[in-house]
């Protein structure tokens, strides 16, 4: 029972990261059919924003020393700003381009961001002490669970509820959902394209910042590559969930997180190093089974 | 048959021009006589093989594949298995079956077999994956790449794990690489004017109409997938013989992205686009590397800061795509009359 | 007063020319039918006015303002409400959300509630299911919804592309009845695209016949219906 609880928390906290990532990618895909490969670099950028530029091995914490109450909004704002800026400077000019061109443009942008960080900070991972008091454990029903996991899951749930409320209850949210389903029709009803797209980028950037903060706290390191793996899984989750479906992306994120943790537990010892091969194999099986995604909205079928 | 030969007559100039460009680059490089520059050009020819290999599938089918560098991985490791001396294999790759440990094949035979192995793998996996279209197919090919990477990174006794396998005979020089690049361009050309290639392109542009006229898209895709896997497997083998070492991460994300970028920047629906994408991007990278080292200008050395090279290449790609969303060649082929190249029409 | 004037516009899709030099004027309160065979450019005409496809040449003016090259949202804000072919309800949004989406750009917030209840009066079926996702509606009901949604934008001009496509004859009658009622009660201007001219003759109004991207005939629907000029023009007889 306690072991089961531990597995559950492992799965939920890993799934949380994937779900937040998938949401960030799905939001932008929904409104402009862009698979944003720069998303992982937004995550890294937000984490590096905690530091003062230096190529030394030791991290010089700068913004990271601010009180939490200022720090979190600041990093979220940086994520949103970076994301919106990339839409204004780059993606806006690709609105009518084909998906492959947009995808490569986003990859090139990510490459630029990555190498910009590399220039300022060097490629060596640095250790950072961010809210390290959260690494203690708490006891839940007899199981010892890292406090950070509990917080990660809680934050994710709060973000999901807040975002749902935003999408369901506000005018902007209504416009975003409509735009995600049929952008041209939404525009013909007076929904302003630029505003909706910029809003999607802003929220996506904030989600990237949130992931960055969680990752930095969990691992205690800052690394250029740190957003990459989350982004790739998130990208997969977006497709498995059904492109254009935000709840689908979130659920698929949790599913992949759960599958990874579960395989780690149930695979025989000698097969464990190959865990990810099984996870990706499951992804392929899933795509063959439901090519349009597990939770594809009916209207999205013919478009992909 | 008559139609095929008239198609050949109309399009053969593209093939000849592309080959001449490649040969010219090799000759100029030899004349320049700089060893490091020659290595850069060898690497570029291997990239031509890779990008044209991807093009055979992506360009003709319209399905973006993230998985093709997996075939490069398979090819490179196969070349290592076939050509590293037995004594070294016994130590570094003890898990290999005995017959593999004890054989050491000539390099060309080994490269051919490496390509066949990649093609066989593509045939098996492709039977499942080719049923998918659009972004689902792209993700599935990426998952395939990830599976290959995980397996080759962890099957220590056969692949040496994440460490590098050393001891692959050095062989690939500029003429071998040039030969490989020309061969691949010819294969790509022959495929795209073949019945299967034409059918696949028809399916790419007009899926419904092609299906109505009896084109079996899944089958044609599979053919393209297998041919491109073969080509890239051979390229992987030649790459192994160029570096002398292989390790799984050399065949993962960064090479996937750089090759796809070259294809899209060049123009992903034309063979000329695939070749020109590699040449132009490689040329810009080389130019920036020189600038990074410093240019002597009347006594003062002007150099751009380290790291700016990568940033600049990324920006250049974005700018090219902004002004030419369908690539430098606008998805057209270069021909004698230069119909496709310069004329700004739309 | 001229509400909309289309002046000599040409629209191209790549090498294909969909409209060549099309002109038309719509007066306030008019009902105008655009008919013509498949591929005549009827839908393209509406899309060009809506700003969804760009006009390569020519100019479009709505309520005295040039809207050539304007975005779809700014054209909509000038009072042009488009109901494209295939209806395009937002299937994942509820029926009421679909309706309210159309009201988002309005300045006269106070009247939105009145309009909503009026739409519900006209289409009681929508009110019954207002919290259901619009995807569950049948074709005819979706057509009602998109007309209702267009009304919620408080338009001056509603353009409808093939309102009868895929609907049963009885439902088509119902759709037209509602449209005409709304036109009279609200002083709306209607621009209706139909492939067949029968409906135009029954309803009355002005009719424009498009063929191969050009206006080939224009006049009063009922007058045109009497002779066989219409049929000739439609099929292109007597030109060779």
Whether B294 is in a domain gets the answer: no
Q: Which helix (H) or strand (E) holds C190?
A: strand C189-193
Cα distance from C34 to chain A (closest Cα, Å)?
20
Q: CB C124: neighbour CB atoms within 10 A?
A: 8
Residue of B142, B311, B318 lying closest to A115 (CB–CB)? B311
Residue of A171, A177, A188 lying closest to C93 (CB–CB)? A177
Residue of A158, A207, A296, A255 lying closest to A21 (CA atoms): A207
pTM across the whole model: 0.88
User: Number of residue pairs across A and C with CB atoms under 8 Å?
Assistant: 73
Residue of B57, B74, B75 lying closest to B66 (CA atoms): B57
Q: Which helix (H) or strand (E) holds A67?
A: none
Contacts of A185 in chain C (CB under 8 A): 84, 88, 90
Whether B136 is in a domain gets the answer: yes
Q: Which two tokens stand for residue A36?
A: 């944003």
C73 touches chain A (CB under 8 A): yes
Per-residue pLDDT tens for B205-256? 887 888 888 889 999 999 999 999 999 999 999 999 999 999 999 999 889 9
> How large is the ipTM?
0.90
Q: Model confidence at B337, in pLDDT bands (50, 70, 90)?
A: low
Q: Which two tokens stand for residue C89?
A: 């309800």
Cα distance from A176 to chain B (closest Cα, Å)?
22
Query: Buried (b) or exposed (e) across B19-53, using 16+ Cβ within 10 A?
Result: bebbeebbeebeeeeeeeebebbbbbbbbbbbbbb
Examine the pLDDT at B43 and tell me if it is beyond 90.
Answer: yes
Q: Which helix (H) or strand (E) holds C102?
A: none
Q: Which phi and psi angles does C217 have, rounded to 5°?
A: -155, 145
Q: Which phi and psi angles does C40 have, rounded to 5°?
A: -80, -15
Cα distance from C235 to chain A (closest Cα, Å)?
33
pLDDT tens for chain A, residues 1 to 304: 788 888 999 999 999 999 999 999 999 998 888 989 999 999 999 999 888 777 776 777 777 777 888 889 999 999 999 999 999 999 999 988 888 899 899 999 999 999 999 888 888 888 887 777 777 888 877 778 888 899 999 999 999 999 999 999 999 999 999 998 888 999 999 999 999 999 999 999 999 999 999 998 888 888 888 888 899 999 999 989 987 788 999 999 999 999 999 998 999 988 888 989 999 999 999 999 998 888 876 544 433 2
Q: Residues 6 or more apart from C5 whose CB is under 8 A from it? A: C23, C24, C25, C26, C60, C61
Angle subtended by helix axes B253-266 and A99-121, to nearest 10: 130
Chain A 94-123, CB below 8 Å of chain B: which residues? 94, 96-101, 103-105, 107-109, 111-112, 114-116, 118-119
CATH number of C2-87+139-144+154-235: 3.40.50.300
Note whether A115 contacts B307, CB cutoff 8 Å.
yes
d(CA A284, CA B318): 31
C82 touches chain A (CB under 8 A): yes
Q: Which domain holds residue B59?
A: 2-249
Look at the block and give the residue holding tokens 């289309």.
C6
Strands (E), chain A: 126-127, 137-140, 143-146, 221-222
For chain C, which residues score pLDDT lower than 50? 239-240
Q: Which phi and psi angles does C160 have, rounded to 5°?
A: -120, 125
Q: Which phi and psi angles does C219 have, rounded to 5°?
A: 165, -170
d(CA C127, CA C95): 8
Provide the residue count of chain A. 304
Examine the pLDDT at B293 and tell me if it is beyond 90.
Answer: no
Q: Are A64 and A221 in contact (CB under 8 A)?
A: no
Neighbours of chain C (3+ CB pairs under 8 A): A
pLDDT of the residue at C56: 92
pLDDT of the residue at C72: 94
Three-state secondary structure readout of chain B: CHHHHHHHHHHHHHHHHHHHHHHHHHHHHHHHCCHHHHHHHHHHHHHHHHHHHHHHHHHHHCCCCCCCHHHHHHHHHHHHHHHCCHHHHHHHCCCCCHHHHHCCCCHHHHHHHHHHHHHHHHHHHHHHHCCCCHHHHHHHHHHHHHHHHHHHHHCHHHHCCCCCECCCCCCCCHHHHHHHHHHHHHHHHHHHHCHHHHHHHHHHHCHHHHHHCCCCHHHHHHHHHHHHHHHHHHHHHHHHHHHCCECHHHHCHHHHHHHHHHHHHHCCCCHHHHHHHHHHHHHHHHHHHHHHHCEEECCEEECCCCCHHHHHHHHHHHHHHHHCCCCCCCCCCCCCCCCCCCCCCC
Look at the block and give the residue holding tokens 């053969």.
B12
Contacts of C153 in chain A (CB under 8 A): 189-190
Mutate to test the interface with C, among A183, A186, A188 (most CBs of C within 10 A): A188
Mutate to test the interface with A, among B218, B274, B321, B323 (most CBs of A within 10 A): B321
Cα distance from A162 to chain C (closest Cα, Å)?
19
Q: CB C228: neighbour CB atoms within 10 A?
A: 11
Q: How many domains does chain B have?
A: 1
Strand, helix or coil for residue A292: coil
Mutate to test the interface with B, among A101, A118, A294 (most CBs of B within 10 A): A101
Interface of B to A at Cβ within 8 Å reads: 64, 128-129, 131-136, 139-140, 142-144, 146-147, 150-151, 154-155, 253, 257, 260-261, 264-265, 268, 305-308, 310-311, 313-315, 317-318, 321-322, 325-326
Whether B337 is in a domain gets the answer: no
Q: Model confidence at B180, in pLDDT bands (50, 70, 90)?
A: very high
Contacts of C105 in chain A (CB under 8 A): 189-191
Residue of A1, A21, A2, A5 lying closest to A257 (CA atoms): A21
C153 touches chain A (CB under 8 A): yes
Q: Are B318 and B265 in contact (CB under 8 A)?
A: no
Chain A 261-280, CB below 8 Å of chain B: which residues? 273-277, 280
pLDDT of the residue at B168: 92
Residue of A107, A123, A126 lying closest to A115 (CA atoms): A123
Note whether C84 contacts A188, CB cutoff 8 Å.
yes
d(CA C165, CA C167): 6
Residue of C171, C89, C103 lying closest to C134 (CA atoms): C89
Dihedral (Cα; B262, B263, B266, B272), 10-degree rounding = 130
Cα of A187 vs its chain's centroid, Å: 28
Q: Which two tokens stand for residue A300?
A: 């999205």
Query: Buried (b) or exposed (e) across A5-29, using 16+ Cβ within 10 A?
Result: ebbbbbbbbbbbbbbbbbbbbbbbb
* Dihedral class, residue B330 (left if φ above 0, else alpha if ψ from -120 to 50, else beta): left
pLDDT of the residue at B342: 40
Q: Are A37 and A103 in contact (CB under 8 A)?
A: yes
Contacts of A112 in chain B (CB under 8 A): 310-311, 314-315, 318
pLDDT of the residue at A80: 97
pLDDT of the residue at A301: 40
d(CA A253, CA A245): 12
d(CA A63, CA A45): 13
Contacts of A104 in chain B (CB under 8 A): 260-261, 264-265, 317, 321
Diameter over CA atoms, chain B: 70
Nearest residue of A to residue C48, measured between CA atoms:
A188
Contacts of C90 in chain A (CB under 8 A): 177-178, 181-182, 185-186, 299
Examine the pLDDT at B338 and tell me if it is beyond 50.
Answer: no
Cα distance from B30 to chain A (closest Cα, Å)?
32
pLDDT of the residue at A56: 73
Contacts of A178 in chain C (CB under 8 A): 90, 93, 97, 101
Mutate to test the interface with B, among A30, A34, A228, A284 (most CBs of B within 10 A): A284
Bridge partners (DSSP) of residue C94 are C133
Whether B299 is in a domain gets the answer: no
A53 touches chain B (CB under 8 A): no
- C-alpha distances (whole Å) from A2 to each of A5, A143, A231, B152, C66 are 5, 5, 31, 36, 70
Note whether A177 contacts C72, CB cutoff 8 Å.
no
Bridge partners (DSSP) of residue A222 are A126
Note whether C88 contacts A174, CB cutoff 8 Å.
no
Contacts of C100 in chain A (CB under 8 A): 174
Nearest residue of A to residue C102, measured between CA atoms:
A189
Note whether A185 contacts C149, CB cutoff 8 Å.
no
Examine the pLDDT at B19 and tell me if it is beyond 60.
Answer: yes
Check residue C212 and report its DSSP letter: T
Contacts of A275 in chain B (CB under 8 A): 150
Q: Which helix (H) or strand (E) holds C187?
A: none
Q: CB A246: neighbour CB atoms within 10 A?
A: 26
Q: Are C148 and C103 in contact (CB under 8 A)?
A: no
Q: Are C4 and C60 in contact (CB under 8 A)?
A: yes
Q: Which phi and psi angles does A76 have, rounded to 5°?
A: -60, -40
Mutate to test the interface with A, among C47, C88, C103 (most CBs of A within 10 A): C88
Mutate to test the interface with B, among A111, A122, A270 (most CBs of B within 10 A): A111
Bridge partners (DSSP) of residue A118 are none
Strand, helix or coil for residue A17: helix
* Dihedral class, residue C112 (left if φ above 0, else alpha if ψ from -120 to 50, else beta): alpha
Strand, helix or coil for residue A138: strand
d(CA A136, CA B170): 53
Nearest residue of A to residue C105, measured between CA atoms:
A190
Diameter over CA atoms, chain C: 59
Q: Which two tokens stand for residue A200?
A: 């999607």
Cα distance from C135 to chain A (closest Cα, Å)?
8
- C-alpha distances (whole Å) from B31 to each of A97, B27, B345, C104 are 42, 6, 38, 69
Note whether A174 contacts C101, CB cutoff 8 Å.
yes
Contacts of B308 in chain A (CB under 8 A): 119
A68 touches chain B (CB under 8 A): no
Diameter over CA atoms, chain A: 59
Contacts of A115 in chain B (CB under 8 A): 307, 310-311, 314
Whether B48 is in a domain gets the answer: yes
Query: Buried (b) or exposed (e) across A101-117, using 16+ Cβ within 10 A?
Result: bbbbbbbbbbbbbbbbb
Note whether C101 contacts A175, CB cutoff 8 Å.
yes
End-to-end CA distance of chain B: 32
Dihedral (Cα; A250, A256, A259, A260), 10-degree rounding = -130
């Amino acid at each position: 029972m306690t072991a089961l609880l531990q597995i559950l928390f492992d799965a939920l906290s890993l799934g949380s990261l994937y779900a937040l990532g998938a949401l960030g990618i799905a939001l932008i895909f929904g409104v402009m059919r862009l698979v944003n490969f720069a998303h992982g670099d937004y995550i890294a950028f937000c984490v590096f924003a905690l530091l003062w530029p230096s190529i030394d091995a030791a991290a010089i914490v700068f913004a990271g020393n601010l009180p939490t109450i200022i720090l979190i909004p600041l990093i979220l704002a940086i994520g949103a700003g970076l994301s919106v800026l990339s839409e204004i400077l780059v993606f806006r000019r690709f609105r009518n381009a084909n998906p492959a061109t947009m995808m490569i443009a986003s990859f090139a942008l990510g490459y630029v961001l990555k190498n910009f960080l590399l220039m300022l900070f060097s490629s060596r991972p640095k250790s950072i002490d961010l809210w390290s008091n959260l690494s203690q454990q708490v006891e839940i029903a007899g199981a010892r669970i890292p406090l950070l996991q509990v917080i990660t899951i809680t934050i994710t749930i709060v973000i999901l509820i807040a975002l749902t409320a935003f999408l369901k209850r506000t005018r902007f949210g209504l416009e975003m959902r409509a735009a995600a389903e049929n952008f041209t029709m939404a525009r013909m009803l007076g929904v302003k394209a630029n505003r909706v797209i910029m809003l999607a980028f802003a929220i996506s950037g904030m989600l990237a910042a949130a992931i960055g903060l969680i990752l930095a706290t969990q691992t205690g390191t800052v690394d250029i590559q740190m957003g990459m793996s989350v982004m790739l899984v998130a990208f997969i989750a977006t497709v498995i969930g059904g492109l254009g479906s935000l709840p689908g992306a979130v659920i698929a994120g949790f599913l992949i997180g759960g599958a990874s943790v579960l395989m780690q537990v149930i695979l025989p010892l000698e097969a464990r190093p190959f865990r990810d091969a099984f996870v990706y194999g499951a992804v392929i099986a899933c795509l063959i089974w439901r090519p349009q995604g597990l939770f594809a909205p009916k209207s999205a079928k013919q478009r992909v | 048959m008559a139609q095929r030969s008239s198609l050949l007559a109309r399009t053969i100039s593209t093939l000849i021009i592309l080959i001449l460009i490649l040969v010219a680059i090799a000759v100029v490089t030899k004349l320049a006589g700089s060893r490091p520059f020659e290595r850069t050009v060898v690497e570029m020819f291997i990239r031509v093989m890779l990008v044209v290999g991807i093009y055979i599938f992506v360009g003709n089918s319209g399905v973006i594949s993230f998985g093709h560098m997996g075939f490069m991985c398979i090819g490179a490791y196969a070349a290592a298995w076939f050509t590293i001396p037995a004594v070294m294999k016994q130590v570094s790759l003890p898990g290999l079956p005995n017959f593999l440990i004890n054989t050491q094949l000539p390099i060309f035979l080994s490269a051919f077999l490496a390509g066949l192995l990649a093609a066989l793998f593509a045939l098996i996996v492709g039977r499942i994956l080719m049923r998918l279209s659009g972004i689902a197919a792209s993700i599935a090919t990426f998952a395939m790449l990830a599976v290959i990477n995980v397996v080759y990174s962890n099957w220590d006794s056969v692949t040496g794990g994440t460490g590098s396998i050393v001891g692959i005979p050095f062989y690939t020089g500029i003429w071998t690489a040039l030969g490989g690049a020309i061969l691949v361009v010819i294969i790509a050309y022959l495929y795209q004017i073949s019945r299967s290639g034409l059918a696949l392109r028809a399916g790419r542009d007009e899926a419904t109409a092609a299906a109505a006229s009896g084109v079996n898209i899944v089958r044609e895709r599979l053919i393209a997938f297998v041919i491109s896997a073969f080509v890239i497997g051979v390229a992987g083998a030649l790459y192994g013989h160029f570096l002398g070492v292989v390790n799984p991460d050399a065949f993962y994300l960064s090479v996937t992205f750089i090759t796809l970028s070259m294809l899209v920047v060049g123009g992903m629906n034309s063979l000329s686009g695939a070749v020109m994408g590699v040449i132009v991007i490689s040329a810009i990278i080389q130019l920036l590397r020189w600038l990074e080292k410093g240019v002597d200008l009347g006594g003062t050395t002007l150099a751009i800061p380290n790291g700016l090279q990568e940033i600049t290449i990324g920006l250049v790609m974005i700018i090219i795509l902004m002004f030419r969303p369908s690539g430098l060649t606008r998805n057209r082929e270069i021909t004698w009359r230069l119909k496709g190249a310069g004329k700004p029409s739309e | 007063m001229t509400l909309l004037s289309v002046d000599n516009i040409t629209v191209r899709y790549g090498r294909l020319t969909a409209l060549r030099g099309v002109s038309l004027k719509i007066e306030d309160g008019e009902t105008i039918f655009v008919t013509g065979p498949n591929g005549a450019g009827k839908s393209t005409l509406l899309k060009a006015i809506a700003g969804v496809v760009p006009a390569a040449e020519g100019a479009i003016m709505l309520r005295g303002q040039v809207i050539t090259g304007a975005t779809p949202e700014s054209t909509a804000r000038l009072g042009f409400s488009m109901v494209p072919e295939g209806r395009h309800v937002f299937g994942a949004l509820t029926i009421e959300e679909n309706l309210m989406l159309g009201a988002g750009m309005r300045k006269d917030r106070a009247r939105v509630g009145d309009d909503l209840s009026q739409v519900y009066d006209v289409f009681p079926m929508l009110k019954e299911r207002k919290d259901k996702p619009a995807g569950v509606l049948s074709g005819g009901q979706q057509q009602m919804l998109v007309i209702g949604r267009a009304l919620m934008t408080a338009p001056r001009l509603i353009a409808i592309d093939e309102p009868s496509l895929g609907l049963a004859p009885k439902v088509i009658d119902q759709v037209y009845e509602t449209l005409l009622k709304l036109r009279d009660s609200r002083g709306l201007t209607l621009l209706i695209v139909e492939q067949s001219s029968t409906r135009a003759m029954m309803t009355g109004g002005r009719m424009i016949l498009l063929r191969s991207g050009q206006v080939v005939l224009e006049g009063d629907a009922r007058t045109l219906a009497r002779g066989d000029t219409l049929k000739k023009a439609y099929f292109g007889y007597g030109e060779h």
